[in-house]
Amino acid sequence: MAFRKFLYFLLQTVMAGLAVAFIYVLLVEPSLLHKGNAIIQVTETPSQTRQPAASHDEVQNGPGVGPVSYADAVAQATPAVVNIHTAKVITRRVPLLDDPLFQQLFGNRLTQTRREIQTSLGSGVLISKQGYVLTNNHVIEGADEIQVLLADGRTTEAKVVGTDADSDIAVLHINLANLPAIVIGDSKRLRVGDVAMAIGNPFGVGQTVTFGIISATGRDHLGINAFEDFIQTDAAINPGNSGGALINANGDLIGINSAIYSRSGGSQGIGFAIPINMAKNVMTQIIETGHVERGWLGIEAQDLTPQLAETFGMKNTHGVLISGVLRDGPADQAGIQPGDVITSINGKPVKDAGESMRIISNQKPDTEVELGGVRSGTAFSIRVHVIQRPAKPIANS
């Protein structure tokens, strides 16, 4: 009897212990019930052990790594970005003096015109410590006086070294000591998605920096310039930014801000900059020779559409259709005819009219280019003598 009571007591104790253990596991360590069968395992790193954000020097160390701030890049570039103030005298007619009654009373004794001073604002970039400033042609076009305001507060008059309306580039020179100069980058290495910052003087409020990315490269057919190879960016560019700097994450100059696409006159996230490689080439020629040398053949070219390609027996749309040839021009003298399809220049395939225009314009005058193409279904090759592009060409080449 006593032994049976002892077993009953022992069983109760074991059952109570198991119950306590089950409750402990259920409430305190529920993961023990699912060990080896977890669906999602999340590991959180305590904030004390997280790696610090990358510094400016680590920007290029690997994909996806970027700085917390671009202040170092901006600090490097902004001293070389200047504000440009222009003034020009314009003559306006006085409409009231054209009234027949005034003419009858006073005749021509009153002056029918009046002179006014028109001012405008823009931006520029100091390219060298010798005082050369790169800006847009439209910023200083027709100006009678040009004043440059540096970031350090100094102001001086600028002289025009030369301009190139076809690329919308102008080169100025200022005569001051201890000038800063921006670091020039390489616009050929740009990729869509790269960081871009625009520096300038929008609306005359003072030097301003806006941030974005490279949205596209090689933009043309925009009708802005004769020669177009624009960088597109969503970094805000507004009136007054023209001629200012477009820089990368290291503070290097990659473009000259030039134009915006806007329905309202303000930034809508579509801005265009002239690639620095193109601007530097134009600037160098202006400084060295006073003008830009560009090849010209005297032809009008247009892109091949699928319909045109089919009409001219082409298998694809690579190449350009010659739609016009200037009489007695280089192409005409070489035998190029309207209706010819040019597929290569100097052995290299051409994709469209814009590309062919750039290739030909980059040829030195008094040299020759070899044009390969198709005429009435038959392949041909012709060498054409390149001449200097006229100031106001009759036909685009």
Q: Which residues form the catalytic set?
A: 138, 168, 242
> With contact defined as beta carbons under 8 Å apart, do 322 and 305 qualify?
no
> With contact defined as beta carbons under 8 Å apart, do 227 and 243 qualify?
no
In the block, tokens 């032809």 appear at 299
What is the C-alpha radius of gyration for the chain, rounded to an integer number of angstroms?
34
